[in-house]
Structure 1
Amino acid sequence: MRIDELLKWQWDGYSKFHQSRSNLLIHIIFVPLFVIGFILFLVSLVFLKWPLMLSALLLMVVSFALQGVGHGKEQYSAVPFSGFKNAVLRIIFEQLYTFPKFVLTGEWYKAFVKSSA
């Protein structure tokens, strides 16, 4: 699947897999932390700062794992990864593109308002 097709596929199903209030709250907190970890990882890679790199990776892993806990609260389970490349691309695109788009277009807020407590 090409990147543009992956992004479209991810966006088309995004609302379906993000309806639980607790999952939405987890995402609004931990996606930005993942993004910060990703940026710190890139910076640490450029300057070869190994402790920062490990800390950034840990932040990314913990943030993603907690989002996984949130997805466990959803009515619809996430589509399983089809392989390593698919997993990496889907994770990176969701964190850096699809979820921010979900927030900036107002879809996160709409989902939050529609969700039950």
Structure 2
Amino acid sequence: MNGTTPDLGSTGTGTAGALPDPELITERITGFLTASLRVSVGPDDDYFAQGLANSLFSLELVTFVEDTFGLTVEVEDLNLDSFRTARRVTDFVLSKAGPGTGEAHADAV
């Protein structure tokens, strides 16, 4: 990442520097998952445990996250637990967006 606030796609409120609503990020992610996996995926569905996704799909998911939210997923970020559910991906996106941004949402999970 280049030290600037990442572009979190068109999920925000339009306020410069403000993080978007985590639910909007989750909706964007579940939309991608549902379209890619061709089955309805909820925010807390573990698509890997359900056999809907494999290691090849995980690369597609990481690419989606990078492209959609303007993030760089580093090698040290590649922990499957961060990508198992749409809500966990949301927490990951928020944590990469800035220090402490994912904590409040992570507590609600």
Q: Which of the five TM-score ranges fits, normalised by the shorter chain?
A: 0.3 to 0.5
Q: Which has the larger radius of gyration?
A: 1
The structure showing larger relative contact order (alpha-carbon pairs under 8 Å, at least 6 residues apart) is 1
Higher helix share: 1
TM-score (norm 2): 0.33
